[in-house]
Amino acid sequence: MSIEVSDHLPTILVIDDEAAIRSALVRFFERRGWRCLQAADGGEAEALLFAGVAPCAYDVVLCDLRLPVKSGLELFHRALEERPDVAERFVLSSGDADGVIVQCPVLAKPFPLAEVASMADAILSRNKAA
């Protein structure tokens, strides 16, 4: 699957095995003018994140920590090793994030939409400045 990056629309990849959460986040970001892609498990996400060697097609990757097939933590660690340009865009989320220590932001579920929007905007701004 090839993804074209648009210069005017920020893009987010929402990875969550809970369809209601995934849909709510996609609707929220679409209303904010973002282009949204989604994955329901770590296998789907892995295919989207690591296909090809082109620059990262996503401005932000919002990923649940606990996923079927591959966990969000496994995806993040693979990104750290193979694709630092992808790793720097990660935000992990979990209902059980206590004690999780990673080199990216972690949102504790349930999180306010304003908080995820603020994190996404900060990542977007940081990457545009780079």
Given pLDDT bands bounded at 50, 70 and 90, which one contains residue 6? very low
- Beta-bridged to residue 61, according to DSSP, are 13, 90
CB 64 within 8 A of CB 74: no
* pLDDT single digits (tens) 74-121: 999 999 999 999 999 999 998 876 666 688 999 988 999 999 999 999
Q: What domains can you pick out in the chain, each with its CATH number?
A: 11-129 (3.40.50.2300)
Q: Which of 17, 23, 118 is nearest to 75 (CA)?
A: 17
Per-residue pLDDT band at 43 (split at 50, 70, 90): very high
Of the candidates 82, 69, 80, 79, the one whose C-alpha atom is nearest the C-alpha of residue 43 is 69
